[in-house]
């Protein structure tokens, strides 16, 4: 593999155009071209990024080493399969596919073809999330809220696979234990799918994650709180700040003293880091941080949440 990866982007709507813009400025990438069902959008992004417009995803295959697939979830398998069969490495926006079985089949197909298959769980590249993992809280209880105003995109899936899956993935990465049980509730508000949902996930080691997600809130609010042994850590995704409370034994042996810190998170751009990591995996053969199997674990829990909501 050359030191520069020839890449394309299929789907350059709201998120896909950011993929194209970032690739266009990364040294390890040569942005070959973009594809979109909206020809005007594709041309605008291509002109902005200095690349070609392709008439179809298939027409990219002979020209690229890797591709970002940023199309509606319902089209993921249809778009990805020809690239996989041609040996093209894939960065797939989450979720992999609408259902678990077809997602697992796509992951197996990519594995058999020997291609890099990275899934876009963006928050794994958030400096604050990485800091939480490094601070060794030993989580016993996690509470997460991911609330966003309504926007008319990603409405082909519900709020569980649109937003909640991010915090499911984070919880699974922080709690080193199998999931024991899942209970959930959710309702549609503005779409035909659940737009607000809450899930309680219990783990075999006794830890619990309580996760709420909404895409019909009046303002953006994103926070995860992690409670562990004599310690509490809270990450505000919007302000990019960690608040920490830690119990310290008092000199008299009675009630502990409490250390209260506020820690600024490095101002990194998670999507830049995600695409850089993808290119590194393609060039050096490293396993992605969020490969297909890791993403399937989060999707499996998300499917259980959806099943509970459907009861």
3-state helix, strand, coil in the chain (%, to 5): 35, 30, 35
DSSP 8-state code for residue 62: G
Question: What is the secondary structure of 276-297 as a DSSP string?
Answer: HHHHHHHHH-PPPTTBHHHHHH
Is beta strand 231-236 parallel, antiparallel or unpaired with respect to 221-228? antiparallel
Grouping H, G, I as helix, E, B as strand and the rest as coil, residue 241 is strand
Estimate the crossing angle of helix 127-134 against helix 165-174, to 10 degrees.
30
Grouping H, G, I as helix, E, B as strand and the rest as coil, residue 230 is coil
In 3D, which of 7, 3, 2 has the Cα closest to residue 88? 7
In 3D, which of 278, 298, 241, 261 has the Cα closest to residue 127? 241
DSSP 8-state code for residue 13: S
Domains of the chain: 5-121+271-289 (3.40.50.720), 127-267 (3.30.360.10)
| Residue-level pLDDT, tens digit, the chain, 311 residues | 578 999 999 999 999 999 999 999 999 999 999 999 999 999 999 999 999 999 999 999 999 999 999 999 999 999 999 999 999 999 999 999 999 999 999 999 999 999 999 999 999 999 999 999 988 678 999 999 999 999 877 677 899 999 999 999 999 999 999 999 999 999 999 999 999 999 999 999 999 999 999 999 999 999 999 999 888 999 999 889 999 998 887 776 677 788 889 998 887 899 999 999 999 999 999 999 999 999 999 999 999 999 999 98
């Amino acid at each position: 593999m050359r030191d520069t990866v020839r890449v394309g982007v299929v789907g350059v709507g709201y998120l896909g155009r950011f993929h194209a813009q970032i690739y266009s400025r990364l040294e390890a990438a040569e942005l070959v071209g973009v594809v979109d069902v909206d020809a005007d959008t594709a041309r605008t992004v291509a002109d902005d990024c200095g690349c070609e417009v392709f008439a179809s995803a298939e027409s990219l295959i002979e020209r690229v080493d890797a591709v970002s697939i940023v199309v509606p979830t319902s089209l993921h398998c249809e778009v990805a399969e020809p690239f996989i069969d041609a040996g093209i490495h894939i960065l797939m926006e989450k979720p992999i596919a609408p259902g678990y079985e077809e997602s697992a089949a796509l992951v197996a197909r990519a594995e058999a073809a020997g291609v890099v298959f990275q899934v876009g769980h963006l928050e794994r590249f958030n400096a604050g999330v990485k800091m939480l993992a490094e601070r060794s809280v030993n989580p016993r209880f996690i509470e997460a809220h991911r609330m966003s105003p309504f926007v008319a995109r990603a409405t082909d899936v519900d709020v569980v696979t649109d937003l909640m899956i991010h915090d499911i993935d984070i919880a699974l990465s922080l709690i080193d234990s199998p999931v024991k049980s899942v209970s959930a509730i959710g309702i549609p508000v503005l779409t035909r799918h659940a737009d607000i949902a809450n899930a309680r996930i219990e783990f075999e080691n006794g830890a619990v994650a309580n996760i709420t997600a909404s895409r019909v809130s009046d303002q953006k609010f994103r926070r995860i709180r992690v409670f562990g042994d004599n310690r509490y850590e809270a990450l505000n995704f919007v302000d990019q700040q960690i608040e920490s409370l830690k119990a310290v034994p008092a000199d008299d042996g009675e009630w502990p003293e409490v250390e209260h810190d506020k820690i600024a998170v490095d101002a990194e751009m998670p999507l830049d880091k995600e695409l850089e990591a993808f290119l590194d995996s393609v060039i050096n053969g490293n396993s992605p941080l969020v490969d297909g199997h890791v993403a399937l674990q989060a999707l499996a829990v998300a499917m259980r949440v959806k099943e509970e909501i459907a009861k």
